[in-house]
Amino acid sequence: MATKPAEESVAGVRLTHPEKVLFPEQGITKGDLAAYLDAAAGRMLPHCAERLISLVRCPEGRSRKCFFQRHGGAGLPAQLRMLDIPSKDGGTETYLYLTGASGLVAAAQMGVLELHIWGSRIDDVERPDRIVFDLDPDPSVGFAAVKRAAQGIRDALDALGLQSFPLLTGGKGVHVVGPILRRHKWPTVKGFAKALAERFAKNEPGRYIATMSKAKRKGRIFIDYLRNDRSATAIAPYSPRARQGAPVAWPVSWKQLDSAAAANEVTIENARKRLGDPDPWKDYGDVRQGLNAAALRALGVPPT
């Protein structure tokens, strides 16, 4: 990567020490990360703007100490907004969100290597507008089996009247994401996801598990429905990952998933070129579908 000056500006945000290396194996710097996020903003913002976010911060790079930041506080850049929402104990908690490319670049300035999003938007945090199935394989499970699992979830959702979209997580697995109308609160959406995950685990117990137990996961894929809980998060589409190789969580079409070799095949280094390809999720924002009474009834889930 090219040497950067001591300071530079990207999307109107001043970067200090843009030459700081954040991914040492590739030599990817803070300036490189900011440039990627700015280039990806047009694709990324429809999925992460005006949602509460959690951040994985690695100020000294991914190979040094990283930490997870869920809440707002003093000293954060103005491009990261704050919102107080009710907490479980009856008080309030301050969370973060962003609205534009400058927020993404400000995150890079802070050494943020991952952005994780809520399943709801800030104007109605209690009613999610997406449902996520996180397919998390045991290390012994090959990626071909993960792809088959994703296709199985897709087919099950399709039978219930729901279109879904696959996301390479940048790790080992795949997220199957469905946009939904904001009809129901968290317990209903989580209950729907849980019931479907448990159906898979019951029908094919040798392949799937719907509990977090790592001891029981050997040789299986955990269908993680817990991403659909209030205050739970999922990796944002197009977010980098704080992992070796500088992978990116990358949306693909179902046809592209068929030919994908690994969940981490897209990296910061090759993502810029792939941003020039047609958007595989171009129809995502046009989908109007919900967890209707028939779908809930099919899985025995009461509406809220």
Mean pLDDT of the chain: 96
Helix (H) or strand (E) holding 93: strand 92-97
Q: How far apart are CA 265 and CA 274, in angstroms?
A: 12
Count CB atoms within 10 A of the CB of residue 125: 19
Tell me which residue of 104, 13, 115, 8 sits closest to 57, measured CA to CA: 115
Is the pTM value of this prediction over 0.85? yes
| Model confidence pLDDT, tens digit, residues 176-222 | 999 999 999 999 999 999 999 999 999 999 999 999 887 888 999 99
Cβ contact 36:50 at 8 Å:
no
List the domains of the chain with CATH numbers. Answer: 1-117 (3.90.920.10), 126-304 (3.90.920.10)
Backbone angles phi, psi at 99, to 5 degrees: -125, -15
Q: What is the C-alpha to C-alpha distance for residues 241 and 52, in angstroms, rounded to an integer?
A: 18
Res. 1: pLDDT tops 60: no
> Which backbone phi and psi does 291 adopt, to 5 degrees?
-80, 90
- Poorest-pLDDT segment among 87-91, 148-152, 168-172: 87-91
pLDDT of residue 284: 98
Residues ≥6 apart with Cβ < 8 Å to 273:
none
- Alpha carbon separation from 117 to 33, 92, 153 (Å, rounded): 19, 19, 21
Torsion of CA 211, 214, 216, 217, to 10 degrees: 80
Q: What is the pLDDT of residues 218-240, one digit of tens each?
A: 999 999 999 999 989 999 999 99
pLDDT in tens, 284-298: 999 999 999 999 999
Reported as a pLDDT band with limits 50, 70 and 90, residue 243 is very high
- Please determine, for residue 119, whether its predicted confidence score (pLDDT) is greater than 80: yes
The residue ranking higher by pLDDT, 302 or 37, is: 37
**Residue 245: which of 268, 212, 213 has the closest Cα?**
268
